[in-house]
Chain A
């Protein structure tokens, strides 16, 4: 019997490891985003929390839900599933996103410098920090940002960066997207977040945006195409669910980055 079993147990010794990278962060900034989902409906204001993990020379930004998903798994019902890694040494920004029940992993890269900021003389106070105003335009929207020179991070929510101090508040002039800091803390010990950016397929921003759009338009078809079995007890139920999802898709017509 032993001789029969041996080949099977030999299989165990073959273990496979993937390359993983540990990122360490010492600070965390939490933002609340209020955004108008439907550009035609002023009452369609939604909000969500985002976390920006900061360290010397790099940072990671995502919705709170995506951050929880990343650490414990599962789906947290966030509307924003991407993570943005900013690397100041390489002057590079990487956006990664898992789409369709985490079946697909994509990323795109772009230059860190996205905005030519103009410093304005106005000051105000946010949560006890003195902040100064700066203005700039990005992806079809004009922004007004408030940064805190006391917090010497060149960072901010979303892709915003490059001011001499952390951006504590930023909104576009139509106020469709409004980020404001709710929390800033320093960790006693740096926290480690593991991720393997090599597992994400490099595509262009246009490709990723197009695919995200396809997925949002018909998530059921997307999941089926990805090999997940989704059945309904009656065809009517499926149609009803699809109808609901497609209404949601139509409402969601006001992205942060506009087509230029």
Chain B
């Protein structure tokens, strides 16, 4: 396990290094002067030489990278050009707002996708299996932005059951602290906590459901194929011959082994979720990282773009690491590979 752990950590560190090299190089890839881009100080300004000096813009590139890394690790990520806020605090607030959606969608996808995939596998090639798989195929192919607008039109506008956009009704006056609205409500000193929570959950329903559809269908198909595969394995047949009933065979042998192979794909599903969340957040005006990134791109807010790219990639890397470690811990055969 220690060998596996260290190899995974090593891969993570290498990936993190490459990632920071990339975000650092963004300084120079954005059109214009790097110092102006990152600080907003124009070249003809009196402050320009001072700022240049502080940022070490005239030193060599390795020095600049080390300087960048020091700032990065000490939480000094610069200030937004459009709002003047410190980027670091806002980055994690926006990230938590996004994670609220993403985690919700992932949980929903797992809760529905995995059991229906297993169920479809037991009905392999039967009418139910075919129906479920065609539905999954359709669900996977529907464009998210179109479906989102359709559902808003139906549930929010026509039926008026759910709010159209946003995280919460601003009248509740919940001050953003962690970024995640549910946590913010719990730690706030509002007099209407229960009502605010209710309202926040209402706001969550639509985006979470829409975001979860694609990964849900993907998980369903993966799980169905993997389980079906495992049900053909000799050890499953042997377990059947030993007198185990179909349910025991499924729970004890087919599903754990199918999970082992599906888990490999879960980080991919997570990055799919993150990229889809950019679209969903823009549609629902959710104050998440994706929405922020899109706005920053329109506003040429370079420090924010840099921070968003870094934090999105880092989240995916971390998630990957966690899944890998879990796989290695739960399924020792993985460590052999």
A binds B: no
Hey, which bits of chain A sit against chain B, CB under 8 A? none
Hey, which bits of chain B sit against chain A, CB under 8 A? none
